[in-house]
Structure 1
Amino acid sequence: MICKRALFIAVGLALTPAAATADEITEAIDTGLSAYKDGDMSTAASQLDYASTLIRQKKAEQITAVFPDPMSGWEAEDAESESSGAAMFGGGISANRSYRKGDADLTIELVMDSPMLQSMMGMFNNPSMIAMQGGKLIKIAGNNAMLEEKDDRTKIVFVANNSALFTLTGNGVKTDEVKAYANAIKLDKLK
C-alpha cells in the first residue's frame, strides 16, 4: 500500500512540477501519518521529515520578499535563500541579497528560526553587552540594533519579531545609507 502511494506521489509530481509543492507536502504528511498508524516508524519519520523540509524550503522562498528594493543609484542582485543552513546556524532558514553602487557594496543577510537567536536577543536587551562588543546601540524600525563602524566598513545587526536576525554589511557605504536600507526592510513580510 505504501509503495503504491509513493509511486502515485512520484508520478503526480512528474506530471505537475510547478503546482506540486503544496500537494506534495500534504501527501508526505498523509503518507507519514498512515505509516505511523500502521506501525512503520521508519517510513513515518522519513515522510514527516520530508514534509518538514519542503515546508522550510517554501518558507525560504517566501522570506526573500523582506529585502528592500534597490535605492536610487543602486543595483541589486536577486535574493537567495536556503533552508539547509542547519549545520552552520543550528537549524533554520537563511537568505541574503547584495546591492552595489559604483565601488560600494552592501549585503543584507537574514537568519530565521535558529536557536542562536536567543543568545543574540539577550545581547540586544543589554546595551552594555553591545558596548563590550565595540558597537553602538541604535534603533532600526523600533528594534534594538548594534552599529559597528570601522574604516570604510559599516555593519548593523538586529533581531526582529524574536525570530529573524538581520546583518547588514556595507563596504564603502555611508552609515546613513546602511541605516536607510535597514529601515527599508519589509518586516511585515516575515511570517
Structure 2
Amino acid sequence: MRRSILLATTVVTLLAVGPARADDVADAITEAQRAYQGGRIQAAQTALQEALQLLAQRAAANLAAALPDALPGWTAEEASSSATGAAGFFGGANASRRYTNAQDQSVEIQVMSDNPMIAQLGAVMSNPMLAGAMGRLVRIGDQRAIQGTDGNVQMLVDNRILVQVQGDAPAEARLAYARAINVAKLAGR
C-alpha cells in the first residue's frame, strides 16, 4: 500500500512539473484513485503505471520537438520518439532524427533521457578532465560537449539528457547540427 501511495505522489508531482495535462493522463490518475479508494490495489497500480507511461510518451515527444529542422542543403526524416517506461537499464524517453545531404552523407541525432545509463555516464561527462580524455571539448550554447576524434558529438543536458550526434558527414556538419538543437526545449525550460 505504501508503494501505491508513493507512486501516486510521484505521478501527481510529475503532472505539476510537466507541460499542460492531457486528458488521458488525468483520466488514468483518476481511475487509479478510484481503484485505490475501492480497495482494488492491483487496478490502482496498473492505472498509475499507465499514467507514468503516458507521461513518458509525452516526454519522448518533447525530446523529438527539440530536434532541429534540416540545415540548408540537407533534408530531414520525420523525428521518431519512444518511451520504454521506468523499468530496465534503457528506460526513459528517446528521440531521433536523421538528416541527409546531396552527397548522401548523413547525420543522426539521438536523444535519451532519464535512464540509469545516463546517470553513470554523467559522472564522466560532468568532469572536464575526464571528458577531455574522451575528445575535444566544445561549447554548444552554454553546454559543454565532447567531439570525439571520429567527429561525433556527445552532450549531457540538465544532467539527465544525453545527446549524441553521429554519422558519416564531415565533423563540421555534425557540430553544426549539435549547435542547432534547441537545448532549452530539451531541458524543459
TM-score normalised by structure 2 residue count? 0.80
Runs of 4+ in 1 over 6 A off after TM superposition: none
Determine the structure 2 residue equivalent to 1:42: 42
Determine the structure 1 residue equivalent to 2:175: 179
| Structure 2 residue 104 is matched with structure 1 residue 108 | no
Identify unmatched segments of 5+ residues in structure 1: 1-20
Q: Percent identity?
A: 31
* Distance in 1 (alpha carbons) for counterparts of 2:146 and 2:110: 15
Contact 1:145 1:158 in 2 (8 A): yes
Identify unmatched segments of 5+ residues in structure 2: 1-20
Where 2:78 maps in the other structure, the secondary structure is coil
Instruction: Answer with 88-97 or 178-187: which moved more.
Output: 88-97
Seen in structure 2, the aligned counterparts of structure 1 residues 166 and 85 have a Cα distance that, compared at 3 Å, is farther
The two structures, once aligned, show a CA RMSD in angstroms of: 1.9
Determine the structure 2 residue equivalent to 1:143: 143
Determine the structure 2 residue equivalent to 1:22: 22
Contact 1:97 1:107 in 2 (8 A): yes
Seen in structure 2, the aligned counterparts of structure 1 residues 104 and 159 have a Cα distance that, compared at 3 Å, is same
TM-score normalised by structure 1 residue count? 0.79
Deviation at 1:140, TM superposition (A): 1.7
* Distance in 2 (alpha carbons) for counterparts of 1:131 and 1:82: 31
Contact 1:85 1:94 in 2 (8 A): no
* Distance in 1 (alpha carbons) for counterparts of 2:73 and 2:88: 34
* Distance in 1 (alpha carbons) for counterparts of 2:160 and 2:180: 18
Seen in structure 2, the aligned counterparts of structure 1 residues 177 and 71 have a Cα distance that, compared at 3 Å, is same
* Distance in 2 (alpha carbons) for counterparts of 1:53 and 1:87: 11
Deviation at 1:155, TM superposition (A): 0.5
Contact 2:109 2:166 in 1 (8 A): yes
Aligned match for 1:170, one of 157, 164, 167? 167
Count of residue pairs brought into register by the alignment: 166
Deviation at 1:145, TM superposition (A): 1.4
Larger radius of gyration: 1
Determine the structure 2 residue equivalent to 1:95: 95
Where 2:116 maps in the other structure, the secondary structure is coil
5 Å-filtered alignment, 1:71-82, equals 71-82=71-82
Deviation at 1:89, TM superposition (A): 4.3
Deviation at 1:168, TM superposition (A): 0.3
Contact 2:53 2:85 in 1 (8 A): no
* Distance in 1 (alpha carbons) for counterparts of 2:88 and 2:29: 27
